[in-house]
Amino acid sequence: MTSTSHPLGLRAELATLTTEAFRADLADIDELPTLEIARLMNGEDATVPAAVADRLPQIAAAIDAVADRMARGGRLVYAGAGTAGRLGVLDASECPPTFNTRPGQVVGVIAGGPAAMVTSVEGAEDSAELARADLDALALTADDTVVGVSASGRTPYAIGAVTHARTLGALTVGLSCNAGSPLAAAAEHGIEVVVGPELLTGSTRLKAGTAQKLVLNMLSTITMIRLGKTYGNLMVDVRASNDKLRARSRHIVALATGAGDDEIERALAATGGEVKDAILVVLAGVDGPTAARLLEESGGRLRAALATTPG
C-alpha cells in the first residue's frame, strides 16, 4: 500500500510529507533553556485547534454519516498503528463508561494487537493484510464505520483497513495530517488536519497526535449526542461503575430535575441506578418500568420520551 518498500524510496516519500519536514529554525533547540523550549512547544500546540477548525465541515459530514449508521445498529471501529492506533483504542475504551455503549459498539484495533499499546510491534504498520484480518475478525457489516487513523496518511495498515471496509460496504473515514494523502483518497470521508512540521522532526505523537485526539473526541462525542446519549450537555447514559461515577450520576439527576437528595435516591433505586430512567421518573412522574418502556419506545432518547408523557 505504499509507493515503494525500498528504504531509499521510502525516505524520498517521507521527505515530501509536511509532518516529516525539518524546521531549521529549531536546529539549536537542545541548547535553549528549558522554559524557552516549553514556550516554543506550547506555542506549537496552540496552532492545532485552528488546523482542526479548518476541517470542521468535513468532520461534521463524517459525524452525521457515522451517527446514521450507528442508529441502524452499526459499530464505530478505529484502525491505526503506533500513536494513531493507541489514540483510537483510547477513544473506544472511554465510550462504555461515558455513554454506556454496549460491548463492541465502539472498537479500536491497532496494528500488532493489544501488545502494541505498550510496545512497538515491528513491521505491523506495514501490513495491509493484517488490517484485513483484524477487520474480518470483527465480521464487519454495511452498517459499520471504519475510521483509518494515520498522521502521515500513508500507513499501509490504516489504508488497508479503509480499503477493505469499503469493499464490504461499510462507511469509511480517513483521518490524517497531510494534504493529498492516500488514506483520505481511499476513504469515503477524508479528513486532513494539516498541522505542519513537528517541534522534533517527524515526531507525530506531538501536534499530529493532538490533532487526531481532538478529531476523535468530536467523532465519538458528537455522534453520541446525535444518538441521544446526552440530555443537553449532561451525560445521562453514564455507567456508574465506581464511587466517583455514582456520585456523578446523582449530580446529573439533580441538575436535570432540580430534585432533592431523597427523591433522587428513590428514583435511582426504582431504575436500578440508570440515570436516564431516573430523570424520566422524576420529571414525568412515572414508575421505573414505565420509564424503561418509554425510553425503549423512544430509541433511548430522553427528550423524545419526555415528549410522550403528560407532564
128-161, pLDDT tens digit by residue? Answer: 999 999 999 999 999 999 999 999 999 999 999 9
- Give CATH for domain 243-307: 1.10.8.1080
pLDDT in tens, 146-202: 999 999 999 999 999 999 999 999 999 999 999 999 999 999 999 999 999 999 998
147 phi/psi in degrees, rounded to 5: -105, 110
Active-site option among 13, 31, 44, 94 = 94
Domain locations along the chain: 10-226, 243-307
Compute the mean pLDDT over every residue in the chain, rounded to the nearest whole number: 92
Confidence of residue 4 (pLDDT cuts 50, 70, 90): very low
31 carries an active-site annotation: no
Q: Residue holding cell 479548518?
A: 54
Residue-by-residue DSSP string for 198-265: -SSTT-TTTHHHHHHHHHHHHHHHHHHHHTT--BTTB-TT----SHHHHHHHHHHHHHHH---HHHHH
Burial of residue 217, with CB atoms counted within 10 A of its CB: 0-12 exposed, 13-18 middle, 19 or more buried: middle
User: Helix or strand or coil: residue 292?
Assistant: helix
pLDDT at residue number 7: 62
pLDDT at residue number 1: 40
pLDDT in tens, 25-46: 999 999 999 999 999 999 999 9
Confidence of residue 13 (pLDDT cuts 50, 70, 90): low
Q: Which residue has the higher pLDDT, 151 or 3?
A: 151
If you compute the radius of gyration of the chain from its CA atoms, what whole number of angstroms results? Answer: 22
Query: How many CA atoms lie within 13 Å of 85's alpha carbon, on the beta-carbon side?
Result: 27
102 phi/psi in degrees, rounded to 5: -75, 160
Active-site option among 31, 44, 122, 125 = 125
pLDDT beyond 50 at 107: yes
**Rounded CA separation 127/214 (Å):** 27
- Residue 106 near residue 79, CB atoms below 8 Å: no
Confidence of residue 8 (pLDDT cuts 50, 70, 90): low
265 carries an active-site annotation: no
The three three-digit cell numbers of residue 189, written as one number:
470521508
State the maximum Cα–Cα separation within the chain, in Å, rounded to a whole number: 72
10-226 and 243-307, same CATH topology = no
pLDDT beyond 60 at 121: yes
Q: Which residue has the higher pLDDT, 11 or 241?
A: 241
| Domain range 10-226, CATH class | alpha beta
pLDDT in tens, 241-300: 888 989 999 999 999 999 999 999 999 999 999 999 999 999 999 999 999 999 999 999
- Residue 290 near residue 274, CB atoms below 8 Å: no
**Rounded CA separation 177/187 (Å):** 14
Residue 295's identity, in one-letter code, is L
Residue 261's identity, in one-letter code, is D
Which uninterrupted H or E stretch holds 76? strand 76-80
Residue-by-residue DSSP string for 138-207: TT--TT-EEEEE-SSS--HHHHHHHHHHHHTT-EEEEEESSTT-HHHHHSSEEEE----S-SSTT-TTTH
Q: Indicate the angle between helix axes 261-270 and 243-257, nearest 10 degrees.
A: 110
- Residue 40 near residue 26, CB atoms below 8 Å: yes
Confidence of residue 10 (pLDDT cuts 50, 70, 90): low
State the pTM of this model: 0.90
